[in-house]
Structure 1
Amino acid sequence: MIQLMQQTWQKHRSLVAYLVFGGLTTVVNFLLFGLLTSAVSCPYLISNVIAWFGSVLFAYVTNRRWVFTTHAATTKAQIREVASFFWYRALSLGVDELIMLVGVTLLGGNALLVKLIDQVVIVLINWVFSKYLIFK
Structure 2
Amino acid sequence: MDRIREVFSYLFFGALTTIVNLAVYYILANPFQVDYRISTIIAWVLAVVFAYITNKLFVFNSKAAGARGIMKEMGSFFLFRLLSLLIDITGMILLVELVKVDDFLSKLITNIAVIIFNYIASKRYIFKHVREK
Q: TM-score, normalised by structure 1?
A: 0.92
Is 1:21 paired with 2:13?
Answer: yes
| Match runs of 1:1-136 below 5 Å | 8=1, 10-136=2-128
Aligned residues: 128
Secondary structure of 1:82's counterpart equals helix
Structure 2: which 5+ residue stretches go unaligned?
129-133
Percent identity over the alignment is 38
AA in 2 matched with 1:122: V
AA in 2 matched with 1:55: A
Deviations 1:52-111 (A, max 9, x none): 000000000000000000011321010111111000000110011110000001111100
Structure 1: which 5+ residue stretches go unaligned?
1-7
AA in 2 matched with 1:135: F
AA in 1 matched with 2:67: T
Return structure 1 stretches of 4+ with deviation > 6 angstroms: none
Secondary structure of 1:39's counterpart equals coil
Secondary structure of 1:24's counterpart equals helix
Whole-angstrom CA distance in 2 between matches of 1:46 and 1:79: 27
- Tell me the residue number matched to 2:131: none
Shift of 1:13: 1.0
Pairwise CA RMSD: 0.8
Secondary structure of 2:62's counterpart equals coil
Shift of 1:11: 3.2
